[in-house]
Chain A
Amino acid sequence: MEKQTKTTRFCLICNYVSRIIEPLTSRCTKFRFKPLPDEVQLEKLGQICASEQVLCSQEAMKAIILHTEGDLRKAITYLQSAQKLQSDDGISLEEIKEIAGVIPESSITTLLSTSSSGSFEKLQQAVKEVLLEGFPAAQILNQVFDKAIQDQELTDKQKSKIMEKMAVIDKRLCDGADEHLQIMDLFTVIMDQVTRQP
């Protein structure tokens, strides 16, 4: 890098600056790109909708932004896909959820309520159903996480136990472990935590 400065400038792009070694970062000027704020994304999507003549309600756009978590490319891909799939009356919320692969709220609630009922057989059945619907385990993990963290009834200690397990499961899923077994593992831990008397 130092040798060629006369003729060449380098432009490095990465997701995490912490993963680039120190000698490299110290030779570069750093620019940090923060996740895009919702208003900016909303504006951009609106702009695209206007120029492509797509019917998309404000709610639908907000749903896109919510599910893409600050990833504008994803948001635009979703918008385009939704436009191609849409029925005549514009893009609906359901379509966006389907494209984003979001699991319906009801399924997650069922899973959690069965695990608090304490019946292992019912839990096994419920987990099987959700996986057979084709929902990816990582998505289940994501949504259960959101739900569990906002749960009012769980104590902090219970939550931390569950979160710890979630971290383990996430790692295992990344390593390519079997989804059914891992999700069962997670919910049995939740079941233990919820049903155990304090």
Chain B
Amino acid sequence: MSFWVDKHRPKLLGKLDYHKEQAAKLKKLVSTGDFPHLLVYGPSGAGKKTRIMCILKELYGPGVERLRIEHQTFTTPSKRKVEISTVASNFHIEVNPSDAGIYDRIVIQELIKTTASTQQLETGSMKDFKVVLLTEVDRLTKEAQHGLRRTMEKYTSTCRLILCCNSTSKVIPAIRSRCLGVRVAAPSETEIVQILQSTCKKENLTLPPELAKNIAVKSNRNLRKALLMCEACKVQQYPFSHDQSVPDADWEVFLRATANQIVQQQSPKQLLVVRGRLYELLSHCIPPDIILKGLLEELLKSCDGALKSEMSQIAAFYEHRMQQGNKAIYHLEAFVAKFMSIYKRYLEEGFEGMDL
């Protein structure tokens, strides 16, 4: 059994559920048999990968769906071996270069070189270029990106690149100017509701519109999340009732409780308790930036107008530091401590004002 997310993923550009106009344009682009390098960007769960796979299928036919996983090893100049797994068909190769950490430049260059230097055997029946699909380009180091731009130009005749990332802010301008940018916006809530309905129909389930709406709101316009939530609801209770609660992830509940504790009491002792809880979250592999954002969102609910701006500025400051540093817990704790101090000061000032 596979998840609904994978099972009901559209396979053709014509079958996509939303951004139909864009799909038509992409189809036109591909129909000429050739296309420029692509830079696909958008928030997660918006359908970037789906669109890329559709493009590939449009280009090469069903052959791209026969995938194989390969493990490749690359040797760095310092004789270190870097192992990386790639997903490939006869026509394309997909790799997440950020898996290689700081050695990503070597991985990218070697990979493109090996892919691009072998020509297709039957040039008559096939396209004479292969596609290299790089995911999470925004997490590449700057050196890798600079390496990429040379490689891109050198092998244009035998190889096309499709780059996939969440935001182009972290992609250097030199790469951006060599690619055709394709923006994939997150689906709107109504679009998500429609997709949930049609998926449930395919599964022979009936989904009450209220529940669909609830899931759509809760998913934050992330289609993948919405479908997973919907499936989770089904496991929890079927037939659906229209006021069924959508289950939250455990860590979300835990984070909310942590935020409550911070608001309740501001003391060094409480800080110690909160630290324990933050450690707990981190050790369950919840990314620190998500923890910080979640905390902020919950904490803001109990703040007043002016305090809200101040808090978001502080959160932005500590998040930046967290990205630069390498121990997230310090920065999370610093944020909590700062919040406590400001909040406490604010409360005390409020009381004094009342006395006068």
Contact = CB atoms under 8 A, between A and B. Distances in A.
B2 interface: no
Contact of A120 (B41, B296, B305): B305
Closest 3 CB pairs of A and B: A185-B316, A188-B309, A134-B42
A184 B312 contact: yes
Residue in B29, B177, B186 with the greatest tally of chain A CB atoms within 10 Å: B177
A73 interface: yes
Interface residues of A, number: 43
B221 interface: yes
A119 B41 CA distance: 30
Contacts of A180: 293
B185 interface: yes
A172 interface: yes
Interface in A147-198: 169, 172-182, 184-185, 188-189, 191-192
Given A120-B305, A181-B315, A175 B29 contact: no
A177 B292 CA distance: 12
Residue in B29, B185, B300, B312 with the greatest tally of chain A CB atoms within 10 Å: B312
Contacts of B309: 120, 188-189, 191-192
B168 A136 contact: yes
Interface in A100-132: 100-101, 118, 120, 124, 131-132
B147 interface: no
B169 A137 contact: yes
B289 interface: yes
A191 B306 CA distance: 10
Contacts of A189: 309, 313
B293 A133 contact: no
Contact of B41 (A98, A134, A176, A192): A134
A145 B185 CA distance: 23
Contacts of A177: 316, 319-320, 323
A58 interface: no
Interface string B158-185: 0000000001111000000111110111
A124 B315 CA distance: 14
B321 to A, nearest CB: 9
B25 interface: yes
A192 B306 CA distance: 9
Contact of B320 (A99, A118, A175): A175
B242 interface: no
B196 interface: no
Residue in B43, B184, B324 with the greatest tally of chain A CB atoms within 10 Å: B43
Given A85-B25, A181-B315, A184-B315, 18 more contacts: A77-B36, A77-B178, A77-B180, A84-B28, A101-B168, A132-B220, A133-B186, A134-B183, A136-B41, A173-B170, A175-B320, A177-B316, A178-B323, A181-B319, A185-B313, A185-B316, A188-B312, A189-B309
Nearest to B26: A85
Interface string B279-321: 0000000000100110010001000010011101101110110
A185 B314 CA distance: 8
Contacts of A191: 309
B183 A101 contact: yes
B320 A172 contact: yes
Given A133-B186, A182-B320, A138 B168 contact: yes
Contacts of B13: none
A182 B310 CA distance: 13
A133 B317 CA distance: 25
A85 B28 contact: yes
B169 A179 contact: yes
A62 interface: no
B296 A181 contact: yes
B316 A172 contact: yes
A191 to B, nearest CB: 6
Contacts of A172: 316, 320
B297 to A, nearest CB: 9
Nearest to A121: B308
A101 B42 CA distance: 11
A69 to B, nearest CB: 10
A176 B171 CA distance: 10
A84 B36 contact: yes
Nearest to B171: A136
A133 B220 CA distance: 12
